[in-house]
Amino acid sequence: MPGTQPKRREYDLLLVGATGHTGSLTAQHIVRHFPPNLRWVLAGRSEAKLQRLRESLPLNPTGIGSPNIQVLNLSESDRDTANLDDLIRRSCVCISVVTYFAVGELVIRSCVENETNYIDAIGDVILLERLIAKYHNTAERKGVKLIHAAGIFGGVQNLLAWAAARELAQQASLKTQEVALAMDTMKLIPSRGTIESFLHEAGRGKDIRKKTLEPWLLSSVEGSPDILNSTNKMNMRINMDLGALSATSITAKQNQLLVHRSWGLLKGSQEDYGANFKYNEYMRGVSAMLSLLTTIGHPFVDWLLGFKIVRNIVRRALQRNHPTSPGEADLVVMEAVAIADVENPDEAPRGYATLRYPEGPYSLTGLMLAQGAASILYSGRECEKGGCLTTALIAADLIQRLKGADIAIESTILPY
């Protein structure tokens, strides 16, 4: 099958958007975790920034070779397109961490045309729906892997949902009817790219934003119509394994669509989650009163953000605090439980998966992108599928790589 094993090309790895916040963290993980013989290239639109990034990388301890740098402006112009195509054609795997809503598609289009495997951290599900409609079939036919949403939002949740459902299937021969995921509250100081993406999404028309409420929007197969998440009047849920949960996760809808896409992609395979599968996401550490207030206030905030003037005020307020260099330190904790598809699930075993990461959400995104690229580069045969995929499709290999990088990611069966 073409594209399943990266062909021998000049570069093993290309990092586009290397000079951004997430890009530079990704480069640091590559330096720490890839083998010394890696042939890699950093691309960005400013030569001075690329030079500074290369000089800042701690290359000596691991002996990894210094990356080449390549100035690359992303635009529709013939000259910029030719430069991008040339670089993509010379690379086996491309990691993209550019501002996706503005220039992300240019990189994807080039990867599909030039048969280069690809990974990103897109969190914008409306953009992703359009990209899937445009590129999935061609990428599938050519055997080109496009792993989308591999970051802290979407990528990690997909891995934990896969791992919890897998435990239930392998240890108890049970299918999963629901994965419930709890995220501990965490400090997220948004980067420039996150602020711009968030405000871009908030500025879309109401009808377009409403699409994110369709739970199977990104899945090629329609799933169970019953996606109730069993919350009480305070919008809380008590789960016997995860504790008190609040339905106030702002990424719950987006991640539901991404995990449901994985369900559709894995349907009929050995890793099929089960016919009645659904995913629900919650926050932990939110009081019942705050949960209620957040739920009531959410539609009002959503309405306010529809005004450009409000978005400009928010942009200015957030930009004042956003970090200008990597190095934030904050604990990320997530736990997922796979609930069995049986009549009385409280009396059945549950699959359980957890991840703890002490260096903050953007660093974890960089690590996921670097290790995901390693999965594609070094273990291409694990997933022979091409198309617009998710981290669930490379989960078995990626989880082993994360463990090898000392990430606390574990799964087990919880007996009844």
Ligand X SMILES: NC(=O)c1ccc[n+]([C@@H]2O[C@H](COP(=O)([O-])OP(=O)(O)OC[C@H]3O[C@@H](n4cnc5c(N)ncnc54)[C@H](OP(=O)(O)O)[C@@H]3O)[C@@H](O)[C@H]2O)c1
Which residues contact ligand X (rule: CB under 6 A)?
Answer: 17, 19-23, 44-46, 49, 73-74, 97-100, 102-103, 121, 123, 151-154, 191-194, 197, 362, 365
At 413, which helix (H) or strand (E)? Answer: strand 408-414
C-beta of 99: minimal distance to ligand X in Å? 4
DSSP secondary structure letter of residue 147:
E
- Residue count of the chain, please give it: 416
C-beta of 145: minimal distance to ligand X in Å? 18
Q: How many CA atoms lie within 13 A of 144 on its CB side?
A: 25
Q: For ligand X, which is the closer residue by CB, 87 or 340?
A: 87
Q: For ligand X, which is the closer residue by CB, 191 or 371?
A: 191
Q: For ligand X, which is the closer residue by CB, 19 or 91?
A: 19
Q: For ligand X, which is the closer residue by CB, 135 or 352?
A: 135
C-beta of 107: minimal distance to ligand X in Å? 9
Q: For ligand X, which is the closer residue by CB, 250 or 313?
A: 250
Buried b (16+ CB within 10 A) or exposed e, 228-248: ebebeebbbbebeebebbbbb
Q: For ligand X, which is the closer residue by CB, 11 or 362?
A: 362
Q: For ligand X, which is the closer residue by CB, 117 or 391?
A: 391
C-beta of 121: minimal distance to ligand X in Å? 4
In Å, what is the CA distance from 4 to each residue of 144, 239, 375, 382, 387?
7, 41, 12, 9, 11
Q: For ligand X, which is the closer residue by CB, 22 or 411?
A: 22
The answer to whether residues 258 and 154 touch, using CB atoms and an 8 Å cutoff, is yes
Q: For ligand X, which is the closer residue by CB, 194 or 246?
A: 194
Distance CA 252, CA 315 (A): 23
Distance CA 145, CA 3 (A): 8
C-beta of 93: minimal distance to ligand X in Å? 18
The answer to whether residues 78 and 106 touch, using CB atoms and an 8 Å cutoff, is no
C-beta of 366: minimal distance to ligand X in Å? 8
Q: For ligand X, which is the closer residue by CB, 198 or 282?
A: 198
Of 193, 77, 214, 93, nearest to 146 (Cα)? 93
C-beta of 16: minimal distance to ligand X in Å? 7
C-beta of 44: minimal distance to ligand X in Å? 5
Distance CA 365, CA 153 (A): 8
List of E strands, 294-406: 332-340, 350-357, 387-389
In Å, what is the CA distance from 346 to each residue of 125, 240, 314, 350?
33, 9, 44, 9
Distance CA 260, CA 255 (A): 8
**Phi/psi class of residue 240: alpha, beta or left (left: φ > 0; alpha: ψ in -120 to 50)?**
alpha
C-beta of 229: minimal distance to ligand X in Å? 22
Q: For ligand X, which is the closer residue by CB, 143 or 193?
A: 193
CA-based radius of gyration for the chain: 21
What does the longest C-alpha to C-alpha distance in the chain come to? 63
N-terminal to C-terminal alpha carbon distance within the chain: 44
C-beta of 196: minimal distance to ligand X in Å? 7
Of 346, 182, 300, nearest to 251 (Cα)? 182
